[in-house]
Structures are given as C-alpha cells and as structure tokens.
C-alpha cells in the first residue's frame, strides 16, 4: 500500500500496519495538517464528492471537522476526539458514523492513534464496517422477532388464565356464596352462633371473589380492549392508590386517538411493572404517571419521589422487571430510559414511534 507524504520520512510502522488493509488512512501532524495519505483515503474522498484540496496532503483535517461540526453531530464528535488526542488528553479515539457514498449508505469506524515518526504524528484510519453493522442489525431484528413471539405467547396465556378465573372460578365462588346464603335462610332459633360464623364465611368469600377479579383484570385488562389505554391507565392507578395508600397523579390526553393494540398493551404493561416496583422498593410518598401523544410518537413518564437507586448496580435477578420492560419497548421500536439516583427518586421514560418508517437502532 502506498502512502504519499510531503517529504521523505521513515515510517516503518505504516507499511506493516496497512499493507493488506482496506482502511482509509491519513497521517497528520500535531496541528492537524495532513502529511500523508494512502490511495484508499483519496478514493473515499472521491466517492463522497469531497474536493481533494480539502482532505489531501497539506489540508488541515482538524479545520475540516471544525467547519462541518456546526451542522453535523458526527463531525462535531470527530473534531472533539481528534483534538483531544492531538493535545494528549486521550491516548486514542474511536467513533462510528454513517456516510452517503455514490454507491449508497455506508458505515465507518474512525480511529485516531499517535505514532512516532520524526516527531509526533497521528494516524487517522476510516474502516468500512457496513457489513458488520448490517449483520448486527439483522441479528437484532431476529432477537426482536423472537422476543415479540415470546411476549405474544405470554399475553395469550394470560388471557386464557384470566378467562378461566372469570368463567370457571368466578362461577364456582358465586355458587358457593349462593349455597351459604340458602343455608342462612334456613336458620332456627338456636342458630345465632352459626349465623355469625356463616356471615364471616360470606365476607371471606366476597374478599376472595374481589381478589380473583382483580387478579383477572391484572392478567388481562378488559378496559384496555374496550375503552382504550387512557381508561385502563386511570383504573390501574386508582387501584394502586386504593390498595397501596400512595398518592398518585395521572395525566392523560383528554382526546387520544386510537393507538395500535401492541402500543397500548406495551404502555399498560410498563406502567403496571413500574407501579409494582414502586410499591415494592421505592418507599415513595407520591407517584406521577403522564401519557402524551405527538403526531409522530407516544410518550409515557412514570416518576416517584422515593429512595431511588443506581441503575448500573441493579441486581440481575432483582432487575428482571426492568429487563422485561425494555424488551417490550424494544419490540415495537421504542426506547426506554431510566433516570434515578440514591435519594433522588426514579423516573422511567418510554418513547414509542407511531410512524411506519424504520427507526434508528444504535448498535455498539
């Protein structure tokens, strides 16, 4: 591989490093001026339509990145990374970016590494990682599809169990209650103590019936299907406030257009898991649930004023609920963010796109 340089210098590292490489390589000095490039660097410039005078020998690559940084976040990141290496603040720098070539969209990984060559020099290498990137995205899509199938199977099983509880166990409890009441109606003058015991049994049966009904609704909320996510979310929060004794503020749109079934179900399940975690771990005096929709996305925010935690230090076994939420959101191309800290409460933000366009998935 040939490297053009401004003056003859001994660079023993470069041929050994780049002889069989497909990297686009430039050598720059401590001020950012390009002092050497290989043919593939020049070919990349031609493919992107960049004038060789801007990225060829003698040009200041740092200035090129600085000028582009005002309108391009990738250029801004590259400028900051290269400058940090030149000033010795970083030993090396690597970043991934996308680039539109004449042949189509490609992905590259840029690396900056210092070398010694008649004084300090720095190698900038752009490696084409398009195939690797596409392979990762394809694998991620397969995982998403698999997770979606698992979640759908779980929801179907929940619906079946909820139906069994309502239709079978619910009817059995109703018949049991009817039988006890019939016995009570056949009371005699010596049945006072028995009547008290039977009344207690009726109260226990009623409590059991309510518990099973609540369990059935948690497994498969009928309001979600028949009244929509806003009504289901309000009912969920009202039940949480009643049973947990924790103040909860619910903000939902007054007029929310119909959402896709999978989006509504995801919002409900994430909210359900958040409230479960708050009741179990947060020790929070108050909770806030906010749902909003824009033309392009739907957003959910569940926050509490509890003890908080460090997300990176979550016990894997204790964090299965968080993993489940992330999988649900990822399956419908959404994003889930967790903001928390000791004594600072916890905030869960979910953003789900509503358009049918392919979402950007960051793969590292």
Q: What is the mean pLDDT of residues 172-180?
A: 75
> Percent of the chain scored above 70 by pLDDT?
80
Q: How high is the mean pLDDT of the chain?
A: 79
Residue 248's pLDDT is what? 94
For 9-38, what is the mean pLDDT? Answer: 67
Q: What is the structure's pLDDT at 89?
A: 92
Pick from 282, 298, 285, 287: nearest CA to 349: 298
Select the more confidently predicted residue: 72 or 347.
347
Q: What is the pTM of this model?
A: 0.51
Classify residue 242 as left (phi > 0), alpha (psi -120 to 50) or beta.
Answer: alpha
Which of 277, 296, 290, 289 has the alpha carbon at shortest distance from 334? 296
Mean pLDDT of 321-345: 87
Q: DSSP secondary structure string, 120-187?
A: EEEEEEEEE-HHHHHHHHHHHHHHHHHHHHHHHHHHHHHHHHHHHIIIIIHHHHHHHHHHHHHHHHT-
Q: Name the pLDDT band for 361 (thresholds 50, 70, 90).
A: very low
Residue 112 pLDDT: 93
- pLDDT(107) > 50: yes
The answer on pLDDT for 18 being more than 50 is no
For residue 311, the 8-state DSSP code is G
* Of residues 64 and 174, more confidently modeled: 64
Rounded Cα–Cα distance for residues 97 and 55 (Å): 18
Question: What whole-number distance in Å separates Cα of residue 200 and Cα of residue 47?
Answer: 84
CA 97-100-101 angle, 5° bins: 120
pLDDT at 49 over 70: yes
Q: What is the pLDDT of residues 227-249, one digit of tens each?
A: 889 998 998 899 899 889 999 99
Question: Could you tell me the CA-to-CA distances from 251 to 11, 275, 351 in Å, in that order?
Answer: 65, 15, 16
**Residue 206 reports pLDDT greater than 80:** no
Mean pLDDT of 55-67: 89
Residue range 312-330: mean pLDDT, rounded:
72
Average of per-residue pLDDT across 110-139: 85
CB 306 within 8 A of CB 244: no
Say if CB 32 and CB 62 are below 8 A apart.
yes
Task: Render pLDDT for 260-292 as a digit per residue (tens, 0 to 9).
Answer: 888 998 999 899 889 989 998 889 999 999 999
Look at residue 143 and tell me whether its pLDDT is greater than 90.
no
Helix/strand/coil for 188: coil
**pLDDT band at 17, cuts 50/70/90?**
very low
Per-residue pLDDT at 311 exceeds 50 = yes
Give the separation between CA 87 and CA 30, rounded to whole angstroms.
Answer: 8
Instruction: Report the percent of the chain where pLDDT is more than 90.
Output: 27
Between 62 and 311, name the one with better pLDDT: 62
**Would you state the pLDDT for residue 271?**
93
Cβ(285)–Cβ(247) under 8 Å? yes
Contact 121, 351 (CB under 8 A): no
Confidence of residue 193 (pLDDT cuts 50, 70, 90): low
Say yes or no to pLDDT of 362 above 80.
no
Residues 6 or more apart whose Cβ sits within 8 Å of residue 109: 94, 95, 96, 126, 127, 129
Res 314: pLDDT:
64
pLDDT tier at 8, thresholds 50, 70, 90: very low
* Helices 170-185 + 192-219 axis angle, to 10: 170
How far lies 72's CA from each of 10, 68, 98, 358, in Å? Answer: 36, 6, 11, 21
pLDDT at 12 over 70: no
Q: Decide: residue 288, CB within 10 A, 0-12 exposed, 13-18 middle, 19+ buried.
A: middle
CB atoms within 10 A of CB 78: 24
pLDDT at residue 13 greater than cutoff 70: no
């Amino acid at each position: 591989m040939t490297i053009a340089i401004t003056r003859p210098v001994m660079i023993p590292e470069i041929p050994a490093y780049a002889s069989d490489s497909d990297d686009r390589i430039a050598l720059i000095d401590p001020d950012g001026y390009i002092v050497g490039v290989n043919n593939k660097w020049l070919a990349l410039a031609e493919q992107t339509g960049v004038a060789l005078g801007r990225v060829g020998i003698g040009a200041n690559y740092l200035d090129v990145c600085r000028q582009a940084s005002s309108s391009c976040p990738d250029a801004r990141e590259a400028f900051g990374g290269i400058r940090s290496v030149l000033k010795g603040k970083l030993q090396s720098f690597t970043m991934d970016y996308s680039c539109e070539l004449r042949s189509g969209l490609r992905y590259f990984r840029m690396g900056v590494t210092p070398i010694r060559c008649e004084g300090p020099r720095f190698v900038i290498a752009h490696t084409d990682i398009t195939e690797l990137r596409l392979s990762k995205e394809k694998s991620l899509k397969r995982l998403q599809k698999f997770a979606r199938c698992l979640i759908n199977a779980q929801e179907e099983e929940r619906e079946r169990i909820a139906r069994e509880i309502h239709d079978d166990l619910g009817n059995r409890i109703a018949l049991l209650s009817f039988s006890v009441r019939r016995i009570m109606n056949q009371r005699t003058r010596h049945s006072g103590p028995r009547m008290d015991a039977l009344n207690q049994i009726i109260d226990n049966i009623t409590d059991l019936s309510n518990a099973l009904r609540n369990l059935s609704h948690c497994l498969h909320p009928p309001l979600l299907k028949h009244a929509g996510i806003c009504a289901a979310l309000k009912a969920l929060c009202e039940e949480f406030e009643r049973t947990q004794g924790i103040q909860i503020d619910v903000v939902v749109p007054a007029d929310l257009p119909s959402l896709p079934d999978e989006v509504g179900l995801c919002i409900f399940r994430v909210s359900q898991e958040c409230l479960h975690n708050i009741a179990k771990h947060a020790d929070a005096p108050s909770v806030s649930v906010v749902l909003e929709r824009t033309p392009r996305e739907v957003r959910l925010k569940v926050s509490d004023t509890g003890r908080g935690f460090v997300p990176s230090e979550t016990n894997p076994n204790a964090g299965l609920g968080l993993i489940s939420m992330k999988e649900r959101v990822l399956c419908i191309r959404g994003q889930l963010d967790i903001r928390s800290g000791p004594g600072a409460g916890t905030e869960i933000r979910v953003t789900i796109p509503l358009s049918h366009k392919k979402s950007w998935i960051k793969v590292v």
